[in-house]
Structure 1
């Protein structure tokens, strides 16, 4: 069942984290924070919504990094229920898709809860002071291939945040598969 993200809570502060990356390093929010803005994305390896957009997400993340936007992706899914989302598979996924940004493992799921992440993909775009400015979607494609005229909504929003400190007031929520929470 597809899940939609909540509406952007403008100014909400990014929670800190310290998570292991697929590159063997432990990363904090301060490590990934960009000088102009920061984008935190909750993804996983197996979700059809993520699979459908991953190449465009990587393209846009790299373009944003080139202009001073820090980027990190986080996988919080339970790898016991979903072995495709194991740390080893995350490492392969990042390499296969050419990530230049950290791909972090939230094994306890505490960070997904702190961010109130609800689905994959779930985008959190912060200004230079780590106030939330974007909680929308990548583009209109969902889990379909993007048409040639699909607006790069995430990219455009994060460029505006980097340039002005403000995200668009009108945002369309992201849609994806629910976070796969561990059994209580």
Structure 2
């Protein structure tokens, strides 16, 4: 069954975390921000919702970089229960899809818990002051990629954030597979 995160809690400020990336480097999540903001995407390797749109995620991350919005992806799933989401498989997934952004491993799930991440994909869009301005979908795709001419909800919202510092009032929640929590999480 699909999980749906809550809509934007405008102005919420995240806690930072230092996580290992698929390139072997430890990075602070919030240091990935551009001059106009940051998108943090909770994704994983096995989710059909992510697989359906991963090339669009990569496209939008590259286009957002052009307008000063940084991008980082985090995988938080329980890899014992879902071995396809292992760190080694994260490296393969990032390479196969030519990620131009860091893909970080939240092994103890502390970031997903602290941020209230619900599903994959779950997008958090921040302005330059690291205030949450977008918690919505990438586009209207679901388990299958929608038509090429779909409105690019995430991109358009973050373009607005880059220009004004504020996210749109009307946002449509993302939908995806629930985060796969460890029993002790």
Q: Normalising by the residue count of structure 2, what TM-score does the alignment of the two structures yield?
A: 0.97
Rounded Cα–Cα distance in structure 2 between residues aligned with 1:35 and 1:129? 9
More displaced 10-residue stretch of structure 1: 143-152 or 105-114: 143-152
Give every structure 1 segment of 4 or more consecutive aligned residues whose post-TM-superposition deviation is greater than 3 Å: none
- Tell me which residue corresponds to 2:169: 169
Rounded Cα–Cα distance in structure 2 between residues aligned with 1:30 and 1:124? 12
Task: Flag the 1:29–1:145 CA change in 2: closer, same or farther, 3 A.
Answer: closer
Aligned length: 184
**RMSD after superposition:** 0.8
- Tell me which residue corresponds to 1:53: 53
- Tell me which residue corresponds to 1:77: 77
Gaps of 5+ in 1: none
Rounded Cα–Cα distance in structure 2 between residues aligned with 1:92 and 1:7? 32
Kept in 1, the 8 Å contact 2:43–2:122? The answer is yes
What secondary structure does 2:176 align onto?
strand
What secondary structure does 2:71 align onto?
strand
Rounded Cα–Cα distance in structure 2 between residues aligned with 1:30 and 1:75? 16
Q: Normalising by the residue count of structure 1, what TM-score does the alignment of the two structures yield?
A: 0.98
Rounded Cα–Cα distance in structure 1 between residues aligned with 2:145 and 2:36? 30
CA deviations on 1:21-72 (whole Å, 9 max, x unpaired) are 0011101034212111100000000000000010001000111012211110
Rounded Cα–Cα distance in structure 1 between residues aligned with 2:143 and 2:29? 29
Gaps of 5+ in 2: none
Kept in 2, the 8 Å contact 1:14–1:126? The answer is no
| 2:6 corresponds to 1:6 | yes
- Tell me which residue corresponds to 1:17: 17
- Tell me which residue corresponds to 2:178: 178
Rounded Cα–Cα distance in structure 1 between residues aligned with 2:35 and 2:10? 19
Rounded Cα–Cα distance in structure 1 between residues aligned with 2:133 and 2:91? 29
Task: Flag the 1:49–1:30 CA change in 2: closer, same or farther, 3 A.
Answer: closer
